[in-house]
Amino acid sequence: MSTGQHVQGVAHEDGIPRICFCPLQEEDENAQGTKRTITVVLADDHNIVRQGLRALLEGQPDIRVVGEAADGPEATQIVERLQPNVLVVDIMMGGMNGIEVTRYVKKLSPKTCVVVLSMHADEGYVMEALRAGAKAYVLKDSIADDMLHAMREAVLGRRYLSPPLSDYVIEGYLQKQEGSALKPHERLTVREREVLHMLAQGLGNAEIATRLFVSRRTVEVHRANVMHKLGLHNQVQWCRYVIEAGITPSGN
C-alpha cells in the first residue's frame, strides 16, 4: 500500500474487520462549478507554529484562516462561534489537550473536520485521535503538502494519515481487533502519556505543571497513576521502562 492512502472506514465481512480505501477524487466544487473556500481555525500553544501554518495556508487560494487559539478551551470557544470547515489542533496543549478538544468540537460543531497536528508517531496517540473523531493526523516533521492534502481530504469526508503512519497504524488496528494485547503505556490516558513523555525528557513536576497549565499536585497524581498502571515502584524501574519502551526525547 502506498503511503498517504485514504482510510475510508471499517467494513465487516463474516465478522472480520476490514479496512476500506477509496481512490483520490476531484476537489469539491459548488453548484457554480468553482472550488469552495475552506475556512480554518488554528490551535497550537506555540505562536511560531501558528504563524508558520498561517503563512502556509494563506498562500492557498481555496483556504482562509478565520481564527487562532493558544489553548484548548479557547479553541473550543472559537470553533463553536465560527463553525469552521476545519480545525487544526496540536495534540498537546495546556488546559485541554488536542484529543479532548476533538471530542468537544464534534459535539459543538459536528460539521467541523479535525486535523490533529502532532510530534508523536506513537500508535496510541493516533488511534485515540481517530476514535475521538479526528479526520486526519499529521506529523509535525511532515512536508507542507501533507498538511494541505490532509485538510482537503478531511473536508471531502476522508481520513488521512501522514506517511509512514498509514501502514503500521492500520496493521496495529487489525492486530488489536484480533485480540492482541496492548502495551502497558498504550493503556494510559492522553494526559498520562503527556506526563510520561515529559518526564522521559527530564522535566520536573513544576515545569510539567507550567506547560500543561495544571497544578503541581495534579502532575504528581498523574505521575502516581502512571507508575501504578505500569507496575513501577521506583526511579530505577521507571528509567528502565522508558528506555526499553523507546519513550525517549528522540524517540516516538
Q: What mean pLDDT comes out for the span 68-82? A: 93
Q: What pLDDT, on the 0 to 100 scale, is given for residue 182? A: 57
DSSP class per residue in 174-235: HHHHTTPPPPGGGGS-HHHHHHHHHHHTT--HHHHHHHHTS-HHHHHHHHHHHHHHHT--SH
> Under 8 Å CB-to-CB from 115, ≥6 apart: which residues?
86, 87, 88, 89, 134, 135, 136, 137, 138, 147, 150, 151, 154
pLDDT digits 0-9 by tens, 133-142: 999 999 988 8
Phi, psi values for residue 135, rounded to 5° = -90, -25
Q: What pLDDT, on the 0 to 100 scale, is given for residue 19? A: 34
How far is CA 1 from each of CA 5, 26, 126, 148, 165, rounded to the nearest angstrom? 8, 21, 19, 21, 12
Q: What mean pLDDT comes out for the span 124-132? A: 83
Query: CATH classification of 6-23+35-177 is 3.40.50.2300, yes or no?
Result: yes
Average per-residue pLDDT in the chain?
78
Q: What pLDDT, on the 0 to 100 scale, is given for residue 147? A: 94
- pTM of whole model > 0.85? no
pLDDT digits 0-9 by tens, 3-35: 444 444 444 444 443 333 333 333 444 444 456
Query: CATH classification of 184-244 is 3.30.1280.10, yes or no?
Result: no
Q: Where in the chain do CATH 3.40.50.2300 domains reside?
A: 6-23+35-177
Q: Where in the chain do CATH 1.10.10.10 domains reside?
A: 184-244
The β-bridge relationship of strands 159-161 and 6-13 is: antiparallel
Residue 222, pLDDT > 80, answer yes
